[in-house]
Amino acid sequence: MSQQHGVPGSHVAAIPMHEQESILPSGAEDDLDLFRSRLNAAYYPAFVDTVGRKSVLRNGRLNAKALNRMTVGFVRFGHEAIVDPGRIDAYHVNVPLAGSIGSRCGHQAVLARPGLAAVFTPHAPTRLPAVSDDAAQICVKIDASAVIAELEALLARPLSRPLDFDIAFSTVGAGGATWMRALRSLIDTVGATDIPRPVSDYLERAMICQLLLAADHNYREDLDGSSTHALPGAVSRVVALLDESPNMLFTAADLARHAGVGVRRLEQAFREHLGMTPTAFHQQKRYERARADLREPRPDTTVTSVMYRWGFTNHARFAAGYRERFGENPSVTLRNVRGF
């Protein structure tokens, strides 16, 4: 018998179709055979078909981009549909933006919808038996070895058993909302030609780390049940790393690996000694370095170049964080130094 999952209060408003068009934009697709071929090429070989007599897609759209560790895509059939890839070879997250997607993985099942994503584990039978005609989703295929590597870094030890996710993943709780912000930051960079490779690489790994910290899986207690003993030596090692390598971008897993402890122990030690998490401390350092660059600019310095240099990818969010910390927009800092 399948295990049905639901998350009370996880429903959020659907994104209207006209707003969906700005997410990984691409042309419309009404040919089912072409849509199926492109979907299978981007993700997995799968049985894909529409439900009902008509097989012409209405406002169908597909745009998937292969990155270093994952494939990220926007998928909208524009028709009731069934997708059956069988046993997949990667971890995978479907994030509905509108409509609903019946989702099964092994013995687990969930009706994914806005606010409630579906996470699929490799090598378990996977099926989407009921994709509604108005469903639109972000589909994220993540290399299994990349997920395992990040989890081992977060735990500071090798895995003792396979990693299995719960299929239901609320994207409106604190952890889920943070993961959604990481996903949006990554999508902002897809297709951009001026994003430095270390920045895009960092964003991929940060999204994987946040998924492991936010979603439920069989290593949740291992991550959350760390020792309550604070470790000042671990804090000192991480602070020294960030001071010595100001131009590097580190995920939570990177910092835990360098400290030699699990991520939760490191977070607790940072909160006790510095009043913030390692990630927040790292972000504060990046903002401080960005401000220093803007206050001592080179002739070719721009707000955008500084933003990218320090791992920020969204102009509005960078400006808001900068303004919160320093009381002015980054453009004002640069303009005041240059006198115009």
Residue keyed to tokens 């719960």: 166
Residue 139 has pLDDT above 60, yes or no: yes
State which H helix or E strand residue 171 sits in.
none
Residue 3 has pLDDT above 80, yes or no: no
**What pLDDT score was predicted for residue 228?**
44
pTM of the predicted model, to two decimals? Answer: 0.78
Determine the average pLDDT of the residues in 75-89: 95
Structural domain boundaries in the chain:
8-142, 283-338
**What pLDDT score was predicted for residue 4?**
58
**What pLDDT score was predicted for residue 2?**
52
Distances (CA, A) of 105 to 123, 165, 227, 249: 9, 10, 33, 34
- The rounded distance, in Å, linking the Cα atoms of 337 and 340 is 8
**What pLDDT score was predicted for residue 49?**
92
Residue 70 has pLDDT above 90, yes or no: yes
The identity of residue 110, as a single letter, is: V
Assess contact for 203 and 189: CB atoms under 8 A. yes
Rounded (5°) CA angle 259-261-262: 125
Residue 284, token pair as written in the block = 């504060």
pLDDT by residue (tens digit) across 156-195? 889 999 999 999 999 998 889 999 999 998 998 887 777 7
Q: What percent of the chain has pLDDT over 70?
A: 94
Higher pLDDT among residues 284 and 139, named by residue: 139
pLDDT by residue (tens digit) across 103-128? 999 999 999 999 999 999 999 999 99
Residue 311 has pLDDT above 90, yes or no: no
Assess contact for 169 and 270: CB atoms under 8 A. no
**What pLDDT score was predicted for residue 305?**
92
Q: Is 192 helix (H, G, I), strand (E, B) or coil?
A: coil
- Asked if CATH classification 1.10.10.60 holds for the domain at 283-338, the reply, yes or no, is yes
Number of H helices, E strands in the chain: 13, 12
The fourth-level CATH superfamily of domain 8-142 is Jelly Rolls (2.60.120.10)
Distances (CA, A) of 144 to 5, 31, 64, 124, 214: 23, 32, 18, 13, 17
**What pLDDT score was predicted for residue 23?**
92
In eight-state DSSP terms, residue 299 is T
Sort 193 into a burial class: Cβ within 10 Å, 0-12 / 13-18 / 19+. Answer: exposed
> DSSP letter string over 65-78?
EE-SSEEEEEEE-S
pLDDT by residue (tens digit) across 199-254? 888 899 999 999 999 999 999 888 876 544 556 788 888 998 888 887 788 888 89
